[in-house]
Amino acid sequence: MNDTDYHLHIIAFNVPYPANYGGVIDVFYRIKALVEAGVKVHLHCFQYGRGEVEILKRCYEVHYYKRDVSIWKQFQREPFIVASRKSEALVQNLLKDDYPILCEGLHTTAVLNDPRLKDRAIFVRAHNVEHDYYRLLADSEPKFWKRRFYKSEAKKLCRYETVLKKAKMIFAITQKDTDYFKEKYGHAMLLPGFNALSKVCSETGRGDYVLYHGNLSVAENKAAAEWLIDNVFNELDIPCVVAGLDPSDDLRELCERYPHVTLKANPEDAEMMDLIRNAQVNVMVTDQPTGLKLKLLNALYNGRFCLVNDDMVRGTSLDRLCIVAETPEQFVAEINRLMDEDFTDDDIEERDDALKELYQNEKNAQIILKTIF
């Protein structure tokens, strides 16, 4: 590729660094892979809680826009995640050239409805079937006002999703999502998740604790942590660690009830990586079989045994690399069994071979290049 060949606008729903939760992990490492492939990335970021960062200057240019999260945006016909990311400044920047556009998530697709951009090649990375995701968020949300918001958002997203007809291609993150979008809109292809590593770096031998990790401010992850503590960890007599961003006070109190359960709040990236690598079992559960849980990929590349429920791996082809359990009794039995097993070089080789089939950033960047250009 000549260094002047390919220019691409990428519209990110958040500032994609630090890459410390699922969605932005996929965005950041996709940008990195495209830049390394020679693409001149024109990055557009919506800001809410994150500032400008030096590392993104590796892109050809970077623009930041303030996300408008004012309350009245919740009462518009468009979903809040879309309405709060509409920006005239963004559109004006896009109109300066005719380069193709990649929208990260349904969140950033307001540009598909802008008549000034009707002749542009616009592609969409679908991180989830969003209305399913928000419906399931509502199911796991204990607070009435949040539950009502999620239900309203799910209805709006279901109606709004038809905007994807206007996209040139939908890049879906799992085969299940690919089948859904292809059946509904006729143009979708699988683009596996991008991540920090292309080689399994798990430690051999044994660890002496069990780990659950995730963004603990997200209702889905908080509910998963609480379920594990109340139904699985409470039945164990081995050290259990819960780690992640912004745990609530009631989750802190729940951990404190059990002397063998430790909460690691807001660990730095290096500390979180050490926790994942040194655990004997990375245990992960969800009641939302949507998208790809990128923390599972992170654990597979860096951790030892991964114990999950079926919803965690549905539609991902990763079930063969994990131990799958459903009931609390099954989780307890599998953890006790795994604590006595060594993680071996053969385990690492098998996992590495399987992950290389799907999750190679360089190979998947080429899928984007061939499709867009």
Q: What does the domain layout of the chain look like in residue ranges?
A: 7-196+359-372, 210-343
The Cα–Cα gap between 17 and 24 comes to 7
Half-sphere exposure of 149 (CA within 13 A, CB side): 13
How many Å from the N-terminal Cα to the C-terminal Cα in the chain?
12
Residue 292 pLDDT: 65
Q: Is 78 helix (H, G, I), strand (E, B) or coil?
A: coil
Two structure tokens written together for 241: 């660690």
Residue 290 pLDDT: 66
- Which CATH class for the 7-196+359-372 domain? alpha beta
Residue 287 pLDDT: 83
DSSP state of 126: E
The Cα–Cα gap between 364 and 30 comes to 9
DSSP state of 157: H
Residue 316 pLDDT: 77
* Of 272, 321, 275, 330, residue with least CA distance to 296: 321
The Cα–Cα gap between 344 and 349 comes to 9
Question: How far does Cα 277 stand from its chain's mean position?
Answer: 20
The structure tokens 């942590």 sit at 225
Q: Is the Cβ–Cβ distance between 81 and 135 less than 8 Å?
A: no
Q: Is the Cβ–Cβ distance between 255 and 229 less than 8 Å?
A: yes
According to DSSP, the β-strands at 101-104 and 281-284 are unpaired
Two structure tokens written together for 295: 């923390």
CATH 2.60.120.560 assigned to domain 210-343? The reply is no
The Cα–Cα gap between 306 and 129 comes to 25
- Give the Å distances, CA to CA, from 210 to 129, 260, 359: 31, 11, 26
The structure tokens 């080689």 sit at 199
Q: Is the Cβ–Cβ distance between 171 and 26 less than 8 Å?
A: no
The Cα–Cα gap between 344 and 328 comes to 27
Q: What is the pTM of this model?
A: 0.82
Q: What is the pLDDT along the chain (373 residues), one digit of tens a residue?
A: 454 589 999 999 999 998 877 789 899 999 999 999 999 999 999 999 899 999 999 999 999 999 999 998 888 899 999 999 999 999 999 999 999 999 999 999 999 999 999 999 999 999 999 999 999 888 878 889 999 999 999 999 999 999 999 999 999 998 889 999 999 999 999 999 898 777 899 999 999 999 999 989 888 899 999 999 999 999 999 999 999 999 999 999 999 999 999 999 999 989 999 999 999 999 999 987 766 677 888 899 999 999 999 999 887 778 899 999 999 999 999 999 999 999 999 999 999 999 988 888 999 999 999 999 9
